[in-house]
Amino acid sequence: MTFQPFNILMGIAMAAVVVVLIAGLANMLRGGNASMSQNLMRWRVGLQFLAIIIIMGVAWVRG
């Protein structure tokens, strides 16, 4: 039995983390709004948590 939807879900979660991380770093390096960088880093932490939950759930389902 393949778990292709889970692979796609994990990829989307990890890609979201990377996109928010790059956006936050780019904002900091440009000298942009500090509160925007802080919010992006908070989003990154939340998305990382979600990605870990998804990955652990997939590992549990696969056994």
Cβ-Cβ contacts under 8 Å for 47 (sequence gap 6 or more): 13, 16, 17, 20
Residue 45 predicted with pLDDT over 90? yes
For a pLDDT cut of 90, what percent of the chain falls above it? Answer: 65
Whether 16 contacts 48, CB under 8 Å: no
The string of pLDDT tens digits covering residues 2-22 is: 568 888 899 999 999 999 999
For 29, which DSSP code?
H
User: Is the full-model pTM beyond 0.85?
Assistant: no
Look at residue 1 and give its three-state secondary structure.
coil
| Whole-number CA gyration radius for the chain | 15
